[in-house]
Structure 1
């Protein structure tokens, strides 16, 4: 299976780097099965950083290696997913031991709903119902170096 990572640089050898902000699934290397989502992310970063080029890095995911890894899979938004994302985004001390986490992206567009949930303005049931009205893109978090061994760099497409 092909998966994509948007970046301002070519990333032939992914690394687990400390995040500069809190993220949906915690620290790690993020990818998606959506080439379009990856390209849009690169274009936003290029605009933010005032640079004229970026890259969609393309990898082959060795699905046979997944059975050797501890994986957490969220097929769709649900209460467990919402609590996991909220813990990663709001608790600096939150940690998990999964090699890979897969599920929907709680991007900035839908994070407003998370803000309402966190403030107690809506219930988790309302949050999930609201999020299911959005077409959510998926993401894979490679959280450990062991998980990164399931990725094989194919090529990088230049954007800009």
Structure 2
């Protein structure tokens, strides 16, 4: 068992598959990270965006054995395949995949500037990959199916105040 974190303006005892109003790196679902600091930064940004003063870093145990029985897509680092997968999820309307869980780097807003340059033909794929190596990227898990949610168990929530 390992710990993973989800930053939110609410306590999330029962994770669920979410369909956000914007395109995300790996598609619809429930996102967590192994970085407490990343989850905390995310919730602080959401708190500011929503004008609230209290948020939560929700802590879960990840059942490492349970995920072995699922359809996984794992990106250990930024690769051409990772870029293509993120681009499909972020730009192709109606794109979906059939993985239960996807794991890999976060393409946050600072990184996405490089994606935009690539998409516009300003930089090549090798240049994009080289540029991405200069960023310290944290990781993320996407739980994409109801089945995948069985692999995480709520432990506690830590209150964050602005």
Q: TM-score normalised by the shorter chain: which range applies?
A: over 0.9
Note the 1:103-118 alignment, pairs <5 A: 103-118=104-119
Match of 1:21 in 2: 22
Deviation, structure 1 residue 128? 0.6
Partner secondary structure for residue 37 of structure 2: helix
For 2:93 and 2:7, the matched residues in 1 are separated by 25
Deviation, structure 1 residue 47? 0.5
Match of 1:127 in 2: 128
For 1:155 and 1:123, the matched residues in 2 are separated by 44
Match of 1:3 in 2: 4
- Output the TM-score relative to the length of structure 2: 0.98
Partner secondary structure for residue 68 of structure 1: coil
Match of 1:62 in 2: 63
Match of 1:97 in 2: 98
| Structure 1 runs (4+) greater than 3 angstroms displaced | none
| Unaligned residue ranges in structure 2 (runs of 5+) | none
Match of 1:52 in 2: 53
- Output the TM-score relative to the length of structure 1: 0.99
For 1:37 and 1:66, the matched residues in 2 are separated by 22
| Unaligned residue ranges in structure 1 (runs of 5+) | none
For 2:49 and 2:65, the matched residues in 1 are separated by 38
For 1:139 and 1:17, the matched residues in 2 are separated by 15
